[in-house]
Chains A and B, each alone.
Chain A
Amino acid sequence: MRLLDIRRDEAFKMVLTWLMCALLSIGYAIGWSAVHSMLVKRMGVEYLPYTYIGISLLGVFGSSVYLLFADAVRRDRLLMVFAGATGLALVLARTLVTARPEGEKGFTLPLLLFFLAVFFAQGVGNSTLGTQVWTIINDLFRPSQGRRLYPILGTAGTIGGIAGGASIHYLAGTLGTANLVLVWAASIWLLIPLTLWLRKRFGGELRGRHAGTASAKPRGSHLLEGWKFFASSKMAAILGFVAVMFWVVGSVADFQYTRIMNATFPTESKLAGYYGVYGMVINTSGLLVQIFFSGYLIRRIGIARGLCALPLTALAGFALIAARFTFWPGLALRYAWDMVGMTVQGNSYQLAMNAVPAALRARIRGVIDGVINPLGGVLGGILILCLHHFFDATGDRGWLDPVTIAGFVLTAAWFLIVSRSGKVYLETVAENLRSAEARTAMDAIDCLEEPGNPRAEALLDEVAEMPDPEKRAAAARVRGAVRSRSSLLGLAVSCADPSPQVRHASVRALARVPVSHPLPPEAVAAVSRLVESDPDLSVRSEALHFLLMREEPEKAGKLAAAWLNHGSADVRVRIVEALAGQDVDRPRLLAPCLSDPSPAVRSAAICALWDAPGGRNAARSALAELLSESDPSAHGPALIACHRTGACPDAERARRMGESADPVIRVLAGAAAIRFCPGPHAATLDAIFETLADEAHAGRLRAEVLPLVPDLGEEAADAILLAAAKLPPESKSHVSKVLGEWYLVLESRIARPEP
C-alpha cells in the first residue's frame, strides 16, 4: 500500500471503485469488439463510419436522460438503474440474433434491431456509466486524495482493457462471438452488487446534494440549472472545449497515423500484428507511468499546466510527421498522444472537475462527458470523412500535407485556449472559496495546490485570512504541499495564527517539507517562537519535533540542550514538556532539569522522564523530594507532577496541602486526596465544590486548574463530574463557570485527525 500511497481507510473504497472502473472497461473491451466484428462481418465494413456518428448522437440523448436525474436522485440509485437497464437491453439484443455468423448475412430486420438495441445500450446506458462512476469517485475522495489516488484508479481502465482484450480470443472461441454481448451485460450488472456494497459502507458520502430535498424540484428545472451553469461558467466551457478538441484532433492524428502504418505494413495480417504489439506496449508502459509517475507529475506541475500537456505533445508529433512521414515519427506521434492522454491529460481533466461546485458536479460532468464528448466524436467523424474525401488523393506529404496542417491549426487553437485555463480555473476556484457549501469551499482550497502559480498563492493568502479556522488550517496544508518560497513564508505567518488548529497544521505542513528542501529562515524562526511560547502543548511538541527532525542526531541533541538552558523558567518548562514526545535521549538530556532552581521545571522533567526508558527511578526520587519541600511555591508543581504521573510518594502530605490558602492548591490537593488516599471523600468533594463555587476565584481556577482536569485521574475527575452534575441549579451554574471549558481543554489535548 505504501508503494501505491493508499492510506488504510482509503483502501476499501479504492478496491471497490477500482473494480467498478475495471469492470466497465473489461465489459466494453469484450462486448464492443464482438459488436464491431459482427457489424463488419454480418453487415459490411461500409456501415462502420456511420456507427460512430450514430452512437455519438445516441450518447447525447442518453446523457440528456441522465442529466434529468443527475444530482437530484442519489448517485448510487441512479447508477444501479442505468446499469440494470443497460444490461437488460444487451441481453434482449442478444436474443434477436443467432450465434452463427452465417445466420444473418446482409441487411436483415433482426440484425438491424440487434444493432439498434446494442447501440442504444451503448449510447444511452453505457456511455453514462463511466461518468456516474467517476462522479461517485469525486464524492468519495477529496481533491487532495484525488491527486494521489486518481492515477491509481486510472489504471483500472487500462488493466481492464488489457484483461478484456486478452480474453476475447478465448471467450469468442468458447462461447461464440454473439454471446460476448452477454459477458458485457454481466460485467455491467456486476456494478449493482458493488454499488450496493459501496452504499452499505459509505452510504452517507453518496447522498449527492441535500439528500431528501433536491428531489422535490421538477426534473426539467434541474436539467436547466445544469445547462445554465455550463453556459455561464468559463471553466465548464473550457472543459467542454478540451473534450471536443480531444476527439477532433485525436481523429486527425489517428487518420495520419493510420495512413503511415497502412503504407508501412503491406498486408492486413502484418498490420493487425503490429497493432497487437503496439496495444500491449502502450497499455503496459502507460500503466507503469500512471502508477509511479503520473500522480507525482500532476502534483508538481499543477492541473492548469497538465491540461496543456496533450496539445503541446500533439504539436510536437505533427511537427515530426511533417518533417518525415514515416514509421518512427508516426509511432512517436501516436505513442506520445496515447501516453499523455491516458496519464497527465486524463488526470488533469478529472481533477479540473473539482473546480465545479459539488452540487452541480454530476450535471456538468454529464453535460461534458455525455453531450460534448459525443459531439466531439461526431465532429471528428465528419472531419475524417471530409479530409478523406477532399485531401486523401492529393498525395501531398510533409509540411504541405493539408491533413497535417489541419492538425497543426486545430492543436494550436486548442493550446491557445487551454493555456488560459489556468486563469479561468483559478477564477472558478476563487468563486468556490466563497461558497456557503462546505464541501465546495474545502475542495476549492485543495484545488489551490498549483506550484509556481502566483494567483493560486494569492488566493491561499486570502484563505489564510478567512474567519473559519478549518479553512485556514486547510490553506496551511496546501501551502506545505506547494512548497514555494512565498507559500513557506505564508506558513511562517500562519504559525502565529490565533487558532491552535491552524498553528498545528502550519507546523505540520512545514515538517512535511523534505529535509533536503531549503526553508526560509523566517519559517524556522516562527517555529522556534512556537517552541518557546505556544500555550498549546501539541503545537509546541510538533514545533520542537520539526526543529529536531531537520538536524543530524548529534546536532539535534545539542539544540535541545541549548533550549533547556534558556534563561526563562517558563520557556524551560515548555521545552521539557515538548521533549516528552520526542525520539531523543530523554534521561541524559533531562537529568540536569531534575535539579533546576524552578520547581515547575523539575515537575515537568519528572513527568517527561516518568515514561522514558531508564528515567523513572530518578524521576521518582525527584518527585519525593519536590513533594517534601516546605516552600509553598513548590506545592502546586509537586501536586501537578503527582497527578500527571499517577504516583504520590506521600499521599498524606498531598492531602494536607488542601489546607492551603491558595484555591488552586486546595482543589489539586483535594483531587489528590480522592485519588491517592482511601475514602470516603464526601467532605473532600464538599471542600472542592465550595472552592469551585466561589466566584472570587473563578478566573484563576479556570486558568490554572481547568487545564489540569484531564490529568487528575479518572477517579477524581469522575467524582467531580458526577457530583457537579447533581448540584442544585445555582451551584451548578457557579461551578460550570470554572468547569465549562472542560470541552476546550480536552480538545487541546487530543491529537487532531489527519485530513
Chain B
Amino acid sequence: MIELHESQSGDVTVISLSGKLDAATTPATEARLVALAREGKKFLALDFSGVSYLASSGLRMLLVLTREITSLEGGLVLCNLDDTMKGTLEVTGFLPYFRLASSADEAIGLLRV
C-alpha cells in the first residue's frame, strides 16, 4: 500500500509518496494522481523521499501522468529521488522527459516560474 500526502503551496500541489511503487500499488496511485490533475491540480511536485522502490509499473505511471499533465498544460517535477531511482530513469531513457529537484521547495520553485 502506498500513502499519498497532499499539501498545497499556491497553485502547486506537493504529493509526498511513501511505500513501494510496484505493480500492486501503482494502478490506484496513478488513478488518484491523474484524477487530481484533471480536477485542476495540474502543477504537481511528486516527493519520492518516502518511496523505497520504483518498479517498471512506477515508470509507466510517471509516463501516464506526465502525458496527462502535458495535455492539460500543467507541470510535473519529481523530487528527492535516490541514486537507484535516478539510475533507473537514466538507463531507461526517462530522464530527459522529467524535471528533477533535490527538495520539495526546489520543485515548488520550478513549478512557479
Nearest CB of A to B83, in Å? 8
8 example contacts (A-B, Cβ-Cβ < 8 A) are as follows: A9-B39, A200-B8, A714-B23, A721-B56, A725-B87, A725-B90, A732-B87, A752-B67
Docked Cα-Cα span, A439 to B56, in Å, equals 33
Q: Are A746 and B11 in contact (CB under 8 A)?
A: no
Docked Cα-Cα span, A739 to B59, in Å, equals 13
Docked Cα-Cα span, A211 to B12, in Å, equals 12
Residue B52 CB within 8 A of the other chain: no
Known interface pairs A212-B112, A718-B56, A746-B63; 5 further A-B residue pairs with C-beta atoms within 8 A, sorted by A's residue number:
A205-B42, A724-B92, A735-B91, A742-B92, A750-B67
Given contact pairs A750-B67, A753-B67, A755-B71, A9 touches B38 in the complex (Cβ within 8 A): yes
Task: Tell me which of B40, B64, B113 has the highest count of chain A C-beta atoms within 10 A of its own C-beta.
Answer: B40
Given contact pairs A721-B88, A724-B88, A438 touches B40 in the complex (Cβ within 8 A): no
From A211, A721, A726, B112 is in contact (CB under 8 Å) with A211
Given contact pairs A211-B112, A721-B92, A736-B93, A726 touches B87 in the complex (Cβ within 8 A): yes
Q: Are B91 and A725 in contact (CB under 8 A)?
A: yes
Q: Is the interface of A mostly helix, strand, loop or mixed?
A: helix
Which chain A residues lie closer than 8 Å to B92 at the CB level? 721, 724, 736, 739-740, 742-743
Among A693-711, those with CB < 8 Å from B are 709-710
In the A-B complex, the 4 residue pairs with the smallest Cβ-Cβ separation, listed nearest first, are A202-B40, A725-B87, A742-B92, A740-B93
Residue A514 CB within 8 A of the other chain: no
Q: Are A732 and B90 in contact (CB under 8 A)?
A: yes
Q: Are A204 and B40 in contact (CB under 8 A)?
A: yes
Nearest CB of A to B111, in Å? 9
Tally of chain A residues near chain B (CB < 8 A): 40
Docked Cα-Cα span, A200 to B84, in Å, equals 35
Docked Cα-Cα span, A104 to B68, in Å, equals 62
Q: Are B93 and A203 in contact (CB under 8 A)?
A: no
- Render B75-91 as a binary contact track against A, CB cut-off 8 A, 1 for contact: 00000000011011011
Among A733-755, those with CB < 8 Å from B are 735-736, 739-744, 746-747, 750, 752-753, 755
Q: Are A725 and B40 in contact (CB under 8 A)?
A: no
Which chain B residues lie closer than 8 Å to A439 at the CB level? 73
Residue B57 CB within 8 A of the other chain: yes
Q: Are A725 and B112 in contact (CB under 8 A)?
A: no
Docked Cα-Cα span, A727 to B40, in Å, equals 40
Q: Are B56 and A207 in contact (CB under 8 A)?
A: no
Binding site for A on B (CB under 8 A): 8, 10-11, 22-23, 38-43, 55-57, 59-60, 63-64, 67-68, 71, 73-74, 84-85, 87-88, 90-94, 97, 112-113
Given contact pairs A438-B73, A743-B63, A204 touches B43 in the complex (Cβ within 8 A): yes
Binding site for B on A (CB under 8 A): 9, 12-13, 200-205, 207, 211-212, 438-439, 709-710, 714, 717-718, 721-722, 724-727, 732, 735-736, 739-744, 746-747, 750, 752-753, 755
From A207, A740, A746, B91 is in contact (CB under 8 Å) with A740
Q: Are A718 and B87 in contact (CB under 8 A)?
A: no
Docked Cα-Cα span, A446 to B57, in Å, equals 35
Which chain A residues lie closer than 8 Å to B67 at the CB level? 747, 750, 752-753
Nearest CB of B to A146, in Å? 16
Docked Cα-Cα span, A522 to B56, in Å, equals 41
Given contact pairs A204-B43, A714-B23, A721 touches B11 in the complex (Cβ within 8 A): no
Which chain A residues lie closer than 8 Å to B55 at the CB level? 714, 717-718, 721
Q: Are B68 and A744 in contact (CB under 8 A)?
A: no
Which chain A residues lie closer than 8 Å to B71 at the CB level? 753, 755
From B11, B22, B23, B93, A207 is in contact (CB under 8 Å) with B11
Which chain B residues lie closer than 8 Å to A205 at the CB level? 40, 42
Nearest CB of A to B20, in Å? 11
Q: Are B60 and A750 in contact (CB under 8 A)?
A: yes
Nearest CB of A to B31, in Å? 13
Which chain A residues lie closer than 8 Å to B94 at the CB level? 742-743
Task: Tell me which of B41, B73, B74, B87 has the highest count of chain A C-beta atoms within 10 A of its own C-beta.
Answer: B87
Nearest CB of A to B7, in Å? 13
Which chain B residues lie closer than 8 Å to A200 at the CB level? 8
Q: Are B40 and A739 in contact (CB under 8 A)?
A: no
Q: Are B93 and A726 in contact (CB under 8 A)?
A: no
Closest chain B residue to A142, Cβ basis: B73
Docked Cα-Cα span, A747 to B93, in Å, equals 12
Nearest CB of A to B32, in Å? 14
From B42, B59, B64, A204 is in contact (CB under 8 Å) with B42
Nearest CB of A to B107, in Å? 14
Docked Cα-Cα span, A371 to B37, in Å, equals 37
Given contact pairs A203-B40, A204-B41, A736-B90, A722 touches B11 in the complex (Cβ within 8 A): no
Which chain A residues lie closer than 8 Å to B41 at the CB level? 201, 203-204
From A212, A722, A725, A750, B63 is in contact (CB under 8 Å) with A750
Nearest CB of A to B99, in Å? 15
Closest chain A residue to B113, Cβ basis: A212
Which chain B residues lie closer than 8 Å to A438 at the CB level? 73
